[in-house]
Amino acid sequence: MKFSAVLCLIMFLSSITITVYSEESNSPKPATKEPAPKTQKSSEEAVEIAIAQVNDHKIYMSDLAREMRMMGVDPRNAANNMNKESFIKFRDQLIESLINQELMYEEGKKIGFEPKDAEVNAEIAKVKASTPNYNQILRMQGLTEEKFAVLVKRFMTMKKLRDEKIQPLAKPVTDDDIKKYYEENKEKYVQKESVRASHILLKTSANSTEQEKAEIRKKMESILQEARNGANFAELAKKYSQCPSAQQGGDLQYFTRGRMVQPFEDAAFALKPGEISDIVETEFGYHIILLQDKKPGRQLNLDEVKDSIKEVLSDKALNDALEEWLKPIREKASIKILLKSDTTPQTETKKQ
């Protein structure tokens, strides 16, 4: 069992970790294939449709919608973006996560692990102090201050339960476990070929006329000539580039294949360190690219990855212990699934 995305917000904001869910996170780069996430309107949260019940506590469609958003999935389009079988499996996993979270919270309350309001407020104050875009993050996830405070209290309760009752039951990870996992999963520990590139971007748009594009390209040809005549590329980027990376002299840092739009990727990986590309056209506009460095792909050795493997195995051991700990509690609990098999946050919102 893995806890879900609501937890990821808590983990991200305040280091309140009660589970072992983790995702590789890559900061968005200019010219990447995926657009930046948009702020989601939380109209579906106004529709309080009960989807499950754990003892006397109801879990609502708004909880499921929030879980989906925290996983990077728009709840309004989730069912349209994957096949029906995959969507139902994904949705049901999130519901199971919500059920297990409620069971943990109830057990923590019984034991006396629920924090006082002053402790919750102190934790939230730390979050606010360390998170400049705190309010924006809450809005993006459809959370009010009051709802976030409730979540913090619940997860502080579950964290204490995990640390004091479940963690001691987890099987310790040995060096032999780490070596065995590495040998069985070497393909996971391959460093892909990567390049470090800087670029200069002059933007065009779908609405740009051919004449406008020709003028922009002519300006880029002049900039390319300056670069090839020995002008400092970083200074040219700061002066001309319309990409946010201009402030860093156009530096995009290292990236692997699949991170950038195809024409940009093809051009960057075809260069040798120190070379400047011809003009590259993408959906974003015209680019010129300076390749700074190239790292070939290679197999990472055990010493390089043993810490990350230990974390993976420790996480699994904790999840296994949690599964076992929850079994008798789930058997005694009253758990009801209330939603229809094809229900989504989108379909329930439309019915209202």
Give the model confidence (pLDDT) of 195-234 as tens digits: 999 999 999 998 999 999 999 999 999 999 999 999 999 9
The span from the CA of 315 to the CA of 21, in Å, is 8
φ and ψ at 295, to 5 degrees?
A: -115, 125
28 pLDDT higher than 90? no
The span from the CA of 338 to the CA of 336, in Å, is 6
Q: Give the model's confidence band at 71: pLDDT under 50 very low, under 70 low, under 90 confident, else very high.
A: confident
Listed range (86-95, 220-229, 322-331) with the worst mean pLDDT? 86-95
- Listed in sequence order, the residues at least 6 apart from 278 whose beta carbon sits closer than 8 Å to its beta carbon are 224, 267, 288
17 pLDDT higher than 90? no
Q: Give the model's confidence band at 343: pLDDT under 50 very low, under 70 low, under 90 confident, else very high.
A: low
275-305: per-residue pLDDT in tens? Answer: 999 999 999 999 999 999 999 999 999 999 9
Asked, colleague to colleague, whether 5-183+304-351 and 192-298 share their fold, the answer is: no
Both ends of the chain: CA-CA distance in Å?
33
- Structure confidence at residue 137 (pLDDT): 84
- Structure confidence at residue 238 (pLDDT): 97
Tokens representing 51? Answer: 């989807």
Q: What is the mean pLDDT of residues 181-194?
A: 96
Listed range (2-11, 99-108, 182-191) with the worst mean pLDDT? 2-11
**Any idea which architecture 192-298 has in CATH?**
Roll (3.10)
Which one is predicted more confidently, 139 or 238? 238
**Coil, helix or strand at residue 231:** coil
**Contact assessment for residue 126 and residue 15, using Cβ atoms and an 8 Å cutoff:** no
Q: What is the mean pLDDT of residues 176-197?
A: 97
The span from the CA of 157 to the CA of 349, in Å, is 32
Tokens representing 246? Answer: 């201009």
The span from the CA of 294 to the CA of 291, in Å, is 8
* DSSP, residue by residue, 88-154: HHHHHHHHHHHHHHHHHHHHHHHHT-PPPHHHHHHHHHHHHHH-TTHHHHHHHTT--HHHHHHHHHH
- Structure confidence at residue 339 (pLDDT): 83
**Any idea which architecture 5-183+304-351 has in CATH?**
Orthogonal Bundle (1.10)
Could you state, in order of their start, the residue ranges of all structural domains in the chain?
Answer: 5-183+304-351, 192-298
Q: What is the mean pLDDT of residues 128-154?
A: 88
Q: What is the mean pLDDT of residues 107-125?
A: 95
**Coil, helix or strand at residue 282:** strand
44 pLDDT higher than 60? no
